[in-house]
Amino acid sequence: MKRIVNGLLIALALGLLLTGCGQGEQEEESTNQATLTSGLFTENMDRSVRPQDNFYNYINGTWMKTAVIPADRTSDGAFYELREKSRSDVKAIIDEVAARSDLKIGSPEQKVADLYNSVVDTARLNSLGLDPIRDELAVIDNLADKSEMSRWLGRSQKTGAGGAFHLFVTIDDKDATRYIPGLWQGGLGLPDRDYYFNEDESFRSIRKAYVLHLEKMFRLAGWTNPARTAQKIMDLETEIAELHWTNVENRDSEKLYNPTNVAEMSSRSGAFDWAAFWDETGIAGRYDLNINQPSYIDGFSQLFADKSLDTWKIYLKWNLLNNAAGMLSSDFDDQNFDFYNRTLSGQQEQRPRWKRGVDLVNGVLGEVVGQVYVSRHFTPEAKVRMMDLVENLRGAYGEAISNLEWMGDETKAEALRKLAAFTPKIGYPDRWRDYSGLEIKADDLLGNIVRTRQFNFQDDLAKLDEPIRTWEWGMSPQTVNAYYSPSRNEVVFPAAILQPPFFNLEADDAVNYGGIGAVIGHEMGHGFDDQGSLYDGDGNMRNWWTEADLEEFGKRTQGLVEQFNGYEVLDDLYINGELTLGENIGDLSGLTIAHKAYHMSEASKNSPVLDGFTGEQRFFMGFGQVWRSKYTEEELRNRVATDVHSPSEFRPLGSLANFTPFYDAFDVKKGDKMYLTPEKRVKIW
């Protein structure tokens, strides 16, 4: 699941049950068998594994043993299978549009067809070589001084040419009625600061491979002294990385809130010309803004002063090349893939061009194809069922909060007010985005990307003079994902995730409450995780907790940190419980509230035995099977270092180990590997 602050990872499987002291399948009831399915994927389970010892492998084990990650991916599982299905569904839409000969220039259909064609026309891309960025490389070479360079970095924010930080527009964390600009650290070619400093062999190997990649890219570009230039870039990026905040620090919403204004930026130390930067972006002198990592901005300003103009020119040219590489000729594209996909993530083959074309259309014109996608693949019945589930989960959350023993009445009242203010968005937007100002050409892939970035930047800039766009979505309908936004206090579920194993209109409700119900509860749970709980019902960062309740909340969440710190991913790799805390709270909250909502529903009272399992057991199996997933080792290491989500295997294992009703459903006892003593089980909501 994704938590969007300013701006679900899941999978599938199955199981067998325990009753009393033994293990055995129960006699199935015939009631409603003609109309109900269990929603379970029993072919994926491994019955040789005891559910009391490893519920994940019990539910998913056969699939885990037999599934082979496709060569053009770094992971596989339910989430990824749905993503492939969504991609194929969108390709069918694009193919129909592209086959037409009557497309009007400037129409949404023309833009979809030509954007896709600009990706798949490899002959044209190979004929161009480095030409698409040659003029911009010359602009960098001709920068006369650091003031001009500061202005160029302002322009790069609009074109996506890269730089040492990112400018964006977001809702003000402490005034949710307005937008403000924000600055975020950037400038690294490797995924995270730890890749520059971690002394484990895997990280040292990546650093060596990165320098070699730089050298190869510079040779392809025809630059002089590629080996020496590569080391210069690595040295400079290492100094930039030293200034970066860690991923754990970047989860702290309070520390990330550092308001200032555009005019005051000019007084910051160093040679960076902030006045020229803001003038080029179009924000000069008009606005308050937030600096997310102020020590980074100050450190970069000093570094900018210390390094020569020529050093920064080399760095900016590398950023330009690196950001454009996947849209250039095959020699650049292949080398870019070799490092960033094969070396960093273990992906063996480049994705076919048609997949890359579909993904770009989804990213650029997502709501154009999304309208057709919804009409074909999302029924009104599904939206009604989802709205009912959301309200059932809201009711269960309200009851859970009201009955909490550890929270006082004052904090409960604020929590209930926030819960009541949650805005659910299901399936697709009520208002579609207007792309009429975006120019797309069939023979200009990189130009399409640059114009898209400029179009989006200007659209964001316009928000600074507008009320909050409550209708806006952060994902297209065909996205297999979900998110919560604390500044908007909204939970969003795109249409594409609302299908099996998450949501099955033909299945008994038990598996749906365990699947999509837990997803809903997870996203609601982000409103009450360690960071979401800093925001009130109006979306403003404000402490609504009493001191005693906040202290007790911290004790309980610390228990999750310690629990997940103990999970061994590989022989030399453990989960970072602090980095993943918010998502782990979301998982436990989602499980807890979905289970409560299921028991509050009529469906739970007369649920039949299906596939040999009671409704109670199928609820937990529905929860377990959506997490089916496997990764290449390289991808797994990358995720543990950078991802706020725990690896999929540990998401059900960690949550279920804390949840006593699971123990009852599968007869988990002391001595079983899933067992935690009652005093160690974390209970929040």
Q: What is the mean pLDDT of each run of 10 residues along the chain (685 residues)?
A: 39 26 37 70 98 98 98 97 97 96 96 98 98 98 97 96 95 98 97 96 97 98 96 98 97 97 79 93 87 96 96 98 98 98 98 98 98 96 92 96 96 97 97 97 98 98 96 97 96 96 93 96 95 96 96 96 97 96 97 97 88 97 97 97 97 98 98 97 94
Residue of 386, 453, 418, 616 lying closest to 535 (CA atoms): 418
The confidence score (pLDDT) of residue 604 equals 86
CA distance 466 to 459: 11
- Tokens for 591, please give them: 């499980």
> How, if at all, do strands 165-172 and 175-185 pair?
antiparallel
The confidence score (pLDDT) of residue 287 equals 81
CB atoms within 10 A of CB 365: 22
The confidence score (pLDDT) of residue 657 equals 98
Residue of 425, 426, 433, 326 lying closest to 369 (CA atoms): 433
Task: Classify each residue of 549-558 as buried b or exposed e, where b means 16 or more C-beta atoms within 10 Å of its C-beta.
Answer: beebbeeebe
Contact yes or no for 17/665 (Cβ under 8 A): yes
The one-letter amino acid code at 605 reads K
Q: Which distant-in-sequence residues (6+ apart) come within 8 Å of 116 by Cβ?
A: 94, 98, 357, 358, 360, 361
652: cis peptide before it, omega within 30°?
no
CA distance 492 to 354: 28
Backbone angles phi, psi at 412, to 5 degrees: -60, -40
The confidence score (pLDDT) of residue 264 equals 85
DSSP 476-498: -TT-S--EEETTTTEEEEEGGGS
DSSP character for 610?
Answer: B
Contact yes or no for 247/579 (Cβ under 8 A): yes
CA distance 283 to 289: 10
Ordered structural domains, the chain, with CATH = 2-87+358-433+472-680 (3.40.390.10), 146-344 (1.10.1380.10)
Distances (CA, A) of 111 to 361, 625, 652: 9, 39, 42
Burial class (CB in 10 A: 0-12, 13-18, 19+), 175: middle
Contact yes or no for 239/303 (Cβ under 8 A): yes
First to last CA, the chain: 18
Contact yes or no for 519/10 (Cβ under 8 A): yes
DSSP character for 339?
Answer: I
Q: Which distant-in-sequence residues (6+ apart) come within 8 Å of 541 by Cβ?
A: 173, 174, 253, 254, 257, 534, 535
> How, if at all, do strands 22-23 and 259-261 pair?
unpaired
39: left (phi over 0), alpha (psi -120 to 50) or beta: left
CA distance 633 to 334: 22
CA distance 179 to 488: 12
Instruction: Give the residue carrying structure tokens 């803004």.
Output: 289
CA distance 561 to 578: 6
Residue of 148, 147, 157 lying closest to 181 (CA atoms): 157
Q: Which distant-in-sequence residues (6+ apart) come within 8 Å of 357 by Cβ?
A: 94, 115, 116, 117, 119, 120
CA distance 587 to 521: 8
- Tokens for 109, please give them: 């259909």
Backbone angles phi, psi at 443, to 5 degrees: -110, 25
Residue of 41, 19, 59 lying closest to 649 (CA atoms): 59
Q: According to the 3-state scheme, what is the secondary structure of 275-294?
A: HHHHHHHCCCCCCEEEECCH
CA distance 527 to 484: 7
The confidence score (pLDDT) of residue 269 equals 64
CA distance 429 to 336: 36
The confidence score (pLDDT) of residue 538 equals 97
Q: Which distant-in-sequence residues (6+ apart) come within 8 Å of 604 by Cβ?
A: 509, 510, 598, 615, 616
CB atoms within 10 A of CB 27: 6
Contact yes or no for 582/644 (Cβ under 8 A): yes
Backbone angles phi, psi at 182, to 5 degrees: -140, 150
